Amino acid sequence: MIRIILSQPGLLVFLSVFISVGSDAQVKLGKYEFGLGLGMMVYQGDLAPSAFGSYSTSRFGFNLHAGRRISSSFVARGNLLWGRLAGDESKYNTPEYRQQRNFRFNASVKELTAQLVWLPVKEKKLAPYLFGGAGLSSLHINRDWSRINYSYFESVASGMAAALAVDSTHQLPGLTPVFILGGGAKFFITNSLALNAEYSYRIMRTDYLDGFSMAANPDKKDHYMNYSVGLVYHTGRRNRSLDCPVIQF
């Protein structure tokens, strides 16, 4: 699982930003932060062309978050995400069977997560961060297998029909737990206002995010990602009790 997460291109971009932190200008952060972001959501699963996900069927996502500094390096925050996910095998020419199977789906997503944010570089104008957490995702899934070419799957047509019969009667996930890992960076315009860019990866325990399992690949779970850019506003008086103590000799 760690190997899959580290293979995501968004996280590799973040790590390159993390390594080249850049500015040493300091900012004075308040105790609370409130943010919003707009970006795209990417499905990763049986109908995607690769382990990197289905970027050609990405959909918009919108998120709001609120957080509180609990130390000089950590912020506890809650995040609310709305968006959509989609997958469509007809968009891909390889492997050849995708144009013949033609499975597709779309889903609306409403997600609430609690996250812990780690800021390794304190109070700099350019501040990278990592975060993780868990929560619940509410899904409304629509799937479609009406375009399948059964003649192409002639040798296994009965097995495909049986697998679709199992999938069609399987209850689709509604409210399901998610675990989240991600990273981002904030660039402070003022002491209170920052631009931010963020990548996050959702780990799920279901293979029915796209509505298919037995007729696709029942050995792998489905997941999704979110890329966003937005604004973060910091407020409240700076709490110096969160700073490291000054040692006097």
The model's pTM is 0.84
The CB density around residue 100, as the number of other CB atoms within 10 Å, is: 16
**What gap in Å lies between CA 222 and CA 176, rounded to an integer?**
12
Give the CA distances from residue 199 to residues 173, 222, 228, in Å, rounded to whole numbers and listed in that order: 24, 18, 7
Residue 180 pLDDT class (50, 70, 90 cuts): very high
**What gap in Å lies between CA 2 and CA 4, rounded to an integer?**
5
Q: Residue 36: which of 8, 92, 77 has the closest Cα? A: 77
Give the pLDDT confidence score for residue 15 in this predicted structure: 46
Give the pLDDT confidence score for residue 155 in this predicted structure: 75
Rounded percentage of the chain residues whose pLDDT exceeds 90: 72
What are the pLDDT digits (tens) for 10-65?
555 544 544 444 444 566 678 999 999 999 999 999 999 999 999 999 999 999 99
The one-letter amino acid code at 108 reads: S
Give the pLDDT confidence score for residue 239 in this predicted structure: 52
**Mean per-residue pLDDT, 60-89:** 96
Does pLDDT of 131 surpass 80?
yes
